[in-house]
Amino acid sequence: MARSANDALIMPLPPADRVVQVEKALSDFVERAGLAPGSRLPTEREMMVALNVGRSTIREVLRKFQALGVIESRKGSGTYLLKPISAATVHMPISIDAQSLRDALLMTLEVRRGIEIEASMAAARRRTEIDIATMEARLVEMETVHLAEGTSGKADLAFHLSIYDSTHNPLFRQLLEQMREGFERFWSKPFDRPDFAARSFPFHRTLFNAIVAGDAEAAREETLKILSIVEEDIKDMSQ
């Protein structure tokens, strides 16, 4: 069977970190094929076959590229390139040269504090009824998981992402995608403690209430309460 031009450009991958490899393979393909903004990308099925990976991996990469604003999915039509990309421009992970997990978390927290405060205040000013419904659904899920398991990593992240989306400023999500590795340390049981920052749990509900009320200053204060507890736990648990 003759191979298509796409198959010739996208080479099969060995077993490893599939998501990272697919990110690189797809961005390399766009660069080598000379695709310009507006070009249609291969279908999910074509990528699955060419890269020898599952649909969930392909979709995770496409979701990330969409969050970064470099591709667009058009229902019934396909996925299209919005901006010229390469492996050097799409995936730029933030690295932290720190002596310990404690130092790395505190460094990340300094950056996170500024982003989270601005996001919560912007969300309070711009949230829509649809945004409120989405935030509440994510909050209820977080509360359910927390009460059942004592921790709520992924659900916590989903709630904060819903706040970012409520800002209607895509740069918040794009920044998170570039810093995801560092930020996810906060939701992966630092110091092997599932109760890390558990004391901040009630303030997520008060933060939501402030955003719903359109009170930007209250949203700022509730965000600071959450992050202050996180900072205290980093210092206490690492002693």
Does residue 142 sit within a domain? yes
Residue 96 included in any domain: no
Residue-wise pLDDT for 219-235, tens only, equals 999 999 999 998 998 88
Range(s) of the domain holding residue 161: 101-237
Report yes or no on 40 lying in a domain: yes
Interatomic CA distance for residues 72 and 145, integer angstroms: 32
Domain finish residue from 90, 123, 138: 90
Number of domains, the chain: 2
- Do 228 and 113 fall into the same domain? yes
The CATH number of the domain holding residue 227 is 1.20.120.530
Please give the Cα distance from 171 to 150 (Å, whole number). Answer: 32
Tell me the pTM: 0.63
What average pLDDT is seen over the chain? 83
Q: Which residue, 90, 121, 144, sits at the end of a domain?
A: 90
Looking up residue 10, the CATH number of its domain turns out to be 1.10.10.10
The four Cα atoms 21, 23, 29, 35 give a dihedral, to 10 degrees, of 180
* Same domain (yes/no): 205, 137: yes
Cα separations in angstroms, 173 against 24, 80, 105, 209: 20, 20, 20, 22
Kindly report which listed range (8-17, 137-146, 185-194) carries the lowest average pLDDT score: 8-17
Q: pLDDT tens, 162-213?
A: 999 999 998 888 777 667 666 666 666 666 666 777 788 899 999 999 999 9
Residues 39 and 107 grouped into a single domain? no
